[in-house]
Structure 1
Amino acid sequence: MEIRDYIKQGFETYYAKYSQVTEEGFCRWMRPDVPAEMKVVDTDEEWSIWKLVPSVVNEDHIGAMEEEYGLTFPEWYKAFISTYHHYFDIIPEQAVDEPLDNVRNMYNPLLCRLGYLPFTWDEEYGKIWCIDLREDAGEGYGAIYEIEHETLFDLDEERTDHAKLKESLIFLYPDFKAYFDHTFLEG
C-alpha cells in the first residue's frame, strides 16, 4: 500500500471511530465556524460536524515549507500534511481556508537548525513532538521525540548544540509510521 493511501485509511478509520452522535446531538467532530465545504450537513448553525475533505496541499506548498524550515521532510510527513483537510484535536488542524497555517505554527528555529521537524504537541502536558531528520542518526533516523516546551524555550537558540538538545529529548517512537499507527489505528 502506498504511503498516501495508508495515511488516508488511518485518518478515515480514526474519524469513523469517534463519529458517533449522542442523543443530545453532539459528536467529537463538532466545532464552531466550520467552512461550508467541510460540513457534514450544510446548516447555518454555529456548531457543525466537520468531515474529511481531500487536501489541496501539493508538492509546491510542501517545497516552500521545506525551504522555510531548511529541512527535507520525510515522505510519511508529506503525505500526512497533504492527504486531508481536517479538524482533528490531536494534531494541528488543517482547514480548507488555511491548510498549512497551524502546521507552520509548529516551526521552531532551534529544533529545525539541529535537524528535528516539530509536527505536533501534547496540549495537556505542554510537550512538542518532533521527527529526527538527521542522516547520521543511524537506526534512530526518523525517530519521534518529545521535549517540554518550557525546556525548549529555555535553550539558547544560537548556541545550543545537538548534544545539549539531546539531553532534553525523550524517545517516543522509532519512526513516523509507528507514531501514526499508534495514534490513528490503535488508539
Structure 2
Amino acid sequence: MNMQTDKEFIALCLDTYFSKHHRVQMRLPIKTDPEDGGVPLSMVNGEVDEEGYVEWKMLPSTVTGEEVTEIEKSLPAPFPPLFRAYLTTRFVLDMQVVNPPYFFMFPELPADNPFRDITFTLQAWNLLLTTGYIPFAEYQDGWGPVCFDTKQQTADGDYAIVWFDHEHLLHELDEEDYRLREKVESYAQSLFPSFRVFMTEMFLH
C-alpha cells in the first residue's frame, strides 16, 4: 500500500473511534503552560468551561516524512509504514484507546509538540532498542511498553506487536541482559501480528 492509502486508513480509524467516544474523550483541560499536556490553542473547539475544560478538535498534521526519518535514525529499523502514516496524518489528543479486553495509552500528537509522547516513550525504554524492539505505546495505564518487534517483520514492512510487563523490565533484567535477544524475548508477550491488525481491532471494531 502507498502512503496516501495508509493515511486514508489512519483517518478512517480516528474518525470511527472518536465518533463513538466523542462525549467522553473530546474534552480536556486548556493548555496553560508550555510544558503541560492540555489542549493547544489551535486545537480548541469552543469555549472553556468553569472548570478549565474545553472541547478539542483533530487537525491535519503538518509533520513531514523527513521529521519522522530523523527520529528513526536512533532506532534499530524504520517505523512500519502505517505508523509513519499515523504520525503524519492528524494532530490528535487523549489517545487512551479502549476496546475490551485491551486498553492502551497511544501516543498523542498535539499540534504544538507532536513528537512529545513518542520521544518520551522511546527514551524511557531505550534499552529495548538494542535487541530490536521499538516502544511506541503503553499497555493499560503504565503496565509496560507496547513495542514493534522488528525481528518479526511482515512482507509489507509491518511488525508484530508485543508488550513487556514493566516489573519484569525493571526488576528482572540488568543492563547486560538487554544486549541478549533471547533473554529479552523471553519476557515479550504477543498482542497482534501487525500494526495494521492492531489499528483495525482497536479503532474499527
Q: Same fold (TM over 0.5)?
A: yes
Question: Of residues 118, 121, 136 in structure 2, which corresponds to 1:119?
Answer: 136
Paired residues in the alignment total 177
**Distance (whole Å) between structure 1 residues aligned to residue 195 and residue 162 of structure 2:** 10
Report what 2:19 is aligned to: 16
**Distance (whole Å) between structure 2 residues aligned to residue 179 and residue 150 of structure 1:** 24
**Distance (whole Å) between structure 2 residues aligned to residue 50 and residue 125 of structure 1:** 24
Question: Of residues 25, 30, 45 in structure 2, which corresponds to 1:40?
Answer: 45
**Distance (whole Å) between structure 2 residues aligned to residue 51 and residue 157 of structure 1:** 42
Q: Deviations over 1:81-113 (max 9, x none)?
A: 221111122312111111001111111222111
Report what 2:96 is aligned to: 89
Q: What are the residue-to-residue correspondences of 1:59-138 with 2, within 5 Å?
A: 59-87=65-93, 88-90=95-97, 91-107=106-122, 108-124=125-141, 126-134=143-151, 137=152
**Distance (whole Å) between structure 1 residues aligned to residue 141 and residue 110 of structure 2:** 22
Letter in 2 for 1:52: M
**Distance (whole Å) between structure 2 residues aligned to residue 36 and residue 123 of structure 1:** 29
Contact 1:71 1:112 in 2 (8 A): no
**Distance (whole Å) between structure 1 residues aligned to residue 161 and residue 22 of structure 2:** 28
Contact 2:45 2:57 in 1 (8 A): yes
**Distance (whole Å) between structure 2 residues aligned to residue 69 and residue 104 of structure 1:** 11
SS at match of 2:134: strand
Q: Deviations over 1:161-183 (max 9, x none)?
A: 11011110111100001100111
Question: What are structure 2's unaligned runs of at least 5 residues?
Answer: 31-38, 98-105
Question: What are structure 1's unaligned runs of at least 5 residues?
Answer: 21-26
Deviation at 1:184, TM superposition (A): 0.7
**Distance (whole Å) between structure 1 residues aligned to residue 68 and residue 185 of structure 2:** 27
Q: Deviations over 1:43-102 (max 9, x none)?
A: 244211111111111112101110123431110111122211111223121111110011
Deviation at 1:150, TM superposition (A): 2.0
Between structures 1 and 2, the one with greater strand share = 2
Q: Which segment drifts farther, 102-111 or 174-183? A: 102-111
Letter in 2 for 1:149: H
Letter in 1 for 2:108: E
**Distance (whole Å) between structure 2 residues aligned to residue 169 and residue 89 of structure 1:** 22
Matched, 1:30 2:27: yes
Q: How does the TM-score come out when normalised to structure 1?
A: 0.86
Contact 1:110 1:158 in 2 (8 A): no
Report what 1:170 is aligned to: 189
Contact 2:153 2:160 in 1 (8 A): no
